[in-house]
Each structure stands twice: as structure tokens, then as C-alpha cells.
Amino acid sequence: MPLESDSSYRPATGRTRSNSLSKTSFGAFVFGAAYVIIWIWSYIKAAQVAPSLLTVSVSLESRAPLTANTTSRQPDPTVIAGTFLIQVRGEMGNNLQKIAHGHALQWYAQDEFAFSPQLRMRHLKKPKWKTAREDIYQCFPRLRSFDYESGLSPTFTRIQNDHRTWLVRQNADWADQLPLVKEETQANITAGLRAMKQLSLIKEKPHIEYPIVVLGGPMRNAIIDKYYARFREELFVFDNGNDCCAQLPEPDEVVFVRSFIYYLKC
């Protein structure tokens, strides 16, 4: 059989294989190039988006919400947000009650509104304040750092004298609700603290101590039970070894002071 048929067949077969190989290589090249382009595009987009996401995250973390019920957040103790001026008078029992009143309001502001008013004390220049302070320092070690005259400094006196003039120029609703913090019911106390926080956030206020609330009355019943355990554990820790009691009570006994309904175990 002549070879012509074979020779004529082979070139045709060779051309078919070459064309198939070229098409396959070109398809693989296109697919690979597309994959590389898509990968590079994704990398560039990620690099552009990441900083913006980081910025949003930081801004949300640094922003302080103004709503209540914020027990999960801790207030910044370095930021002064208003002032409770504790005005003490009388003997040791009266002084302890007013100190407890100021701390209960401060704790309530921290728990419910995530802000922390500072506490200042001011005695009324009566002779009893010195003996009351000595008794408190002797028997309550955690109260020994309290400054009974921090509210009597000339600087703070000037600041307090200007407070009323500043307050009447502020939002009328907040200014009117501020005294409610000294009322009896928890609803009024909450409304007063909400107004106090709003006033403390005013950036144009002339003094960081504003607003100022003077606490001269008794501690209100609405917050006694709320912080009773904390009073005993953190504030009124008694120094039994400092001759403060002539006779210590038994574990099942309670010491009453005069006819007051407020009492603490000695």
C-alpha cells in the first residue's frame, strides 16, 4: 500500500494536536491571569477598608453614651463630673449619716449613669465638729482621710458663690430637676442625678466642679437598703482594737443610737 496515504494523514493529525494544545494553554493563561487580578483587587480593597473599620471601632469605644442603666461601664475616676458638698453638723452619729448620704448618691450615680461626682465636706464652724471628727477618725479607719474643710477653701467658696448665677443660665428643665437629687423617692433622686449628669457635661462651664449640690439633710430611705451591705463592708469598717466601745455587742445583738431608725452594728 503506498505511503502517500500515511504521509497525507500525519500532517493533518499533527495540526489537530497543535491547535488543541494552543487552545488549552490560552485558556489556562486567561484563568490564571483573572485569578491574579481578582486576588490583587481584593488585597487593595482590604487595605483600604481596614483603616476605616479601625477608626469606627475606636470612635465607638471612646464615645460615652448619655443614657441610664449603664452598670456594665465603669466611670473614669479622674474626670470630675459635678460636686456633692456634704455639710456636716452635730455629733458623730449625725456626721456619719451625712457621709453615708453623700457616698450613696455617688455610688448610685456611678451605677446608673456611669459618672462620678466628687465629694467635698464642710463643717459649720461649731465646736462639736472637732470632737465628732476625732471620734470618727479614731473608730472608722476608712474615714480618716476625709478632709472636713475641703469645702471651706477660698477658691471653692468663690466657685460656689458663682454657681447660682451660672445655673440660671442653663437649660431650665435640668436646673429645675437638679434639687430632686435630695428628695425622698428613688424616682426623684434618679431624675435629679440625670439632670446633674447633663449639666456636668456642658463643655462651656467655667469650673469643672459644676454643678454643685449641697447635702445638709438626712440620708433618704430610698437608697439606705440599696447600699446597706456596701456601707458595712467598704465605708463603716469599725476599729474594735482602738478602745472605741466600752462593751462590744454579741453577734446576735444590734446597737441602736437614741431613737433613730437608722442603725449599724458596732
The pLDDT of residue 35? 60
The edge-to-edge listing of strands for the beta sheet with 83-88 is: 118-123, 83-88, 212-215
The 3-state DSSP composition of the chain as helix, strand, coil percent (nearest 5) reads 55, 5, 40
In a domain, 47, yes or no: no
User: What pLDDT shows up at residue 216?
Assistant: 83
246 in any annotated domain = no
| 44 in any annotated domain | no
Phi-psi group of 69: left, alpha or beta (phi > 0 → left; psi -120 to 50 → alpha; rest → beta): left
**Cα–Cα distance measured from residue 109 to residue 266, given in angstroms and rounded to the nearest whole number:** 28
**97 domain residue, yes or no:** yes
The backbone torsions φ and ψ at residue 256, rounded to the nearest 5 degrees and listed phi first, read -105, 140
Task: Look up residue 66 and give its amino acid.
Answer: L
In a domain, 21, yes or no: no
pLDDT at 251: 78
Domain count of the fold of the chain = 1
pLDDT of residue 192: 95
Q: Which residue has the higher pLDDT, 156 or 125?
A: 156
- Residue tagged 463592708 (cell numbers): 233
For residue 202, being part of any structural domain is answered with: yes
The verdict on residue 227 lying in a domain is yes
Query: Region 200-223: what's the mean pLDDT?
Result: 85
Range of the domain at 158: 83-235
Identify whether the C-beta of residue 138 lies closer than 8 Å to the C-beta of residue 103. Answer: no
What is the percent of the chain with per-residue pLDDT over 90, rounded to a whole number? 38
Query: Looking at the predicted structure, is the pLDDT value of residue 265 above 70?
Result: no
What would the pLDDT profile of 143-189 be if each residue is shown by its tens digit? 999 999 999 999 999 999 999 999 999 999 999 999 999 988 899 99
- Residue 38's CB is within 10 A of a number of other CB atoms, namely 10
Q: What is the value of pTM for the model shown?
A: 0.64
3 or 135: which leads in pLDDT: 135
Q: Flag whether pLDDT at 199 surpasses 60.
A: yes
Residue 103 lies in a domain: yes
pLDDT tens-digit readout, 12-61: 444 444 444 454 555 555 556 566 566 555 554 444 433 332 222 222 22
